[in-house]
C-alpha cells in the first residue's frame, strides 16, 4: 500500500525574496556590493521536525497499526512538527500516517545488540526520540531477563553515541499468551518487573529514559488475535499508552510547534522497581524503590502494583495501601517520604500472600508523581 503521508513543502516568505532575486541576478553580474553580502538567515524558517523512531519487532512493524493511531492522535493534539523515521516503509493499516518505522518482524533484541544492527539504522534516520517495545521474541525464546536488559544497555549506548541528547521511551511489554508457549505469560511478567529499575539506572537528565507501562489493562483474549500480536482494540490501547508519554517529551523538546509547554511546569516522571526480599510457603516480603526521574522536585508519588501469580498485598510500611478486588495494590507515599529531589529515591516494604509454587515473586509497578507546590 502506498504511503499516504502529508508532504511538507517549504514555505517561501516575503523576507526570503531578496535572497531569491540575488540568486537569479548572480549569473548576470548585476549584484551591488551590498546585495552581494551574505544575507542573514531567515528568522521565519520552520524548525526541523522532531524525528521519532518506533523500534521493535513485529508488534511495532508488521503492520504495527498502533503507530498510525498514535501519529494521528499527535497530529490532532497539535504536534505537527514531527517525523516518524525508520529504514522500513509503511506496512499497511489503511490509515493516513507517517509509516516509517524500525519494527523488524521476528527480531530478537539480543541479536540486534550482539550483531551490531542498530548503528547503521540510527545513522540512516538520526532520531531524536526512540519509542521502543522490544523483547517479545526473546521472551518466547526463553532468553533470560539479564541478557535482554544487557541488550538494552548496548542499544542505549549506541543511541547515545548517535545522539547524546536522545530520549528513549521503553515499554513494559504487552502480555503474551500463545497456545504454543505456556511459560511465555510469566516470562513477560518477570522481564517487566525488571524494566523500571533498569530505566532508573540508565536515566540521565540529558538523555532521559522513561518507562511506559503497556502491560497493565491489556488482555490477550480480547486485545490480540493470536495471543501475541495486537488486534484493533489492542492497537488502540498501545497508542493510548504511548501518547501521553510521547506528548510530554515533545512538549519539552525544541522543534515541535504543538503545545510547547510551560517552562515553569516541567514534565514529572518517577519509576518504581520491585525486589523480592524473602519467600516462604504461602507468602513473601518485597521492597519497592521509588525514584524521581524528573529534572524537577516532586512532592508526592503513587505506585500501582500488580503482583504476579495471583498474589495479594496484605501489608505495607512506609506507604499507604489501597487494594482492589482484582489484586491491584495502590500505594501512596506516607507523607514524610513523598518529597523527592531530582534523582532521589525512597522505598516501601510489603507483605504478600500467594498460592504460587516456588517461583520467584514478581510484579509490575507503575509510578505517578505529584508536582512540588
Tell me: the pLDDT tens digits for 35-81?
A: 334 444 443 335 789 999 999 999 999 999 999 999 999 999 899 99
Cell numbers at 243, concatenated: 501518547
Residue 5 pLDDT exceeds 90: no
* Range 252-257 contact pairs with CB under 8 angstroms and sequence separation of 24 or more: 253/50, 253/128, 253/129, 253/167, 254/47, 255/47, 255/48, 255/49, 255/50, 255/81, 255/128, 256/49, 256/50, 256/79, 256/80, 256/81, 256/82, 257/46, 257/47, 257/78, 257/80, 257/81
Residue found under cell 495501601: 321
95-150 pLDDT, tens digit each: 899 999 999 999 999 999 999 999 999 999 999 999 999 999 999 999 999 999 99
Cβ-contact 231, 58 below 8 angstroms = no
Burial 212-231 (b: 16+ CB within 10 A, else e): bbbbbebebeebbeebbbbe
pLDDT of residue 253: 61
Here the cell at position 125 is 534516520
Grid cell 521476528 in the structure block, residue? 106
Q: What is the pTM of this model?
A: 0.64
What CA–CA distance (Å, rounded) separates 258 from 251? 7
Distance CA 85, CA 98 (A): 8
**pLDDT at residue 251 greater than cutoff 60:** yes
Q: Are 51 and 128 in contact (CB under 8 A)?
A: yes
Amino acid at each position: 500500500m502506498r504511503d499516504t503521508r502529508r508532504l511538507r513543502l517549504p514555505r517561501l516568505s516575503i523576507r526570503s525574496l531578496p535572497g531569491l532575486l540575488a540568486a537569479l541576478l548572480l549569473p548576470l553580474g548585476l549584484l551591488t556590493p551590498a546585495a552581494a553580502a551574505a544575507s542573514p538567515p531567515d528568522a521565519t524558517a520552520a524548525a526541523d521536525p522532531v524525528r521519532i523512531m518506533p523500534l521493535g519487532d513485529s508488534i511495532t512493524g508488521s503492520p504495527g497499526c498502533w503507530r498510525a493511531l498514535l501519529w494521528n492522535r499527535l497530529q490532532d493534539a497539535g504536534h505537527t512538527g514531527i517525523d516518524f523515521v525508520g529504514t522500513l516503509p509503511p506496512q499497511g493499516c489503511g490509515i493516513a500516517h507517517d509509516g516509517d518505522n524500525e519494527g523488524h518482524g521476528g527480531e530478537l533484541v539480543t541479536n540486534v545488540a550482539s550483531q551490531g544492527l542498530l548503528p547503521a539504522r540510527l545513522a540512516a534516520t538520526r532520531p531524536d526520540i526512540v519509542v521502543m517495545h522490544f523483547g517479545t521474541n526473546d521472551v518466547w525464546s526463553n532468553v533470560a531477563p539479564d541478557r535482554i536488559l544487557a541488550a538494552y544497555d548496548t542499544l542505549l549506548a549506541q543511541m547515545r553515541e548517535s545522539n547524546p541528547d536522545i530520549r528513549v521511551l521503553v515499554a513494559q511489554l504487552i502480555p503474551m499468551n500463545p497456545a504454543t508457549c505456556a511459560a511465555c505469560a510469566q516470562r513477560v511478567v518477570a522481564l517487566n518487573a525488571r524494566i523500571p529499575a533498569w530505566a532508573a539506572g540508565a536515566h540521565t537528565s540529558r538523555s532521559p529514559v522513561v518507562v511506559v507501562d503497556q502491560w497493565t489493562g491489556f488482555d490477550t483474549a480480547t486485545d490480540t488475535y493470536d495471543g501475541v500480536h495486537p488486534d484493533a482494540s489492542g492497537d488502540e490501547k498501545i497508542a493510548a499508552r504511548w501518547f501521553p508519554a510521547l506528548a510530554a517529551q515533545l512538549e519539552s523538546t525544541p522543534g515541535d510547534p504543538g503545545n510547547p509547554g510551560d517552562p515553569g511546569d516541567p514534565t514529572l516522571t518517577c519509576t518504581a522497581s520491585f525486589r523480592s526480599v524473602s519467600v516462604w510457603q504461602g507468602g513473601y516480603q518485597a521492597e519497592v524503590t521509588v525514584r524521581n526521574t524528573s529534572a524537577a522536585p516532586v512532592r508526592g508519588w503513587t505506585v500501582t502494583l500488580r503482583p504476579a501469580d495471583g498474589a495479594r498485598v496484605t501489608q505495607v510500611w512506609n506507604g499507604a495501601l489501597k487494594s482492589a478486588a482484582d489484586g491491584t495494590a495502590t500505594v501512596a507515599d506516607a507523607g514524610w517520604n513523598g518529597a523527592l529531589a531530582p534523582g532521589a529515591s525512597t522505598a516501601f516494604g510489603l507483605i504478600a500472600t500467594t498460592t504460587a509454587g516456588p517461583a520467584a515473586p514478581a510484579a509490575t509497578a507503575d509510578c505517578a508523581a505529584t508536582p512540588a507546590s
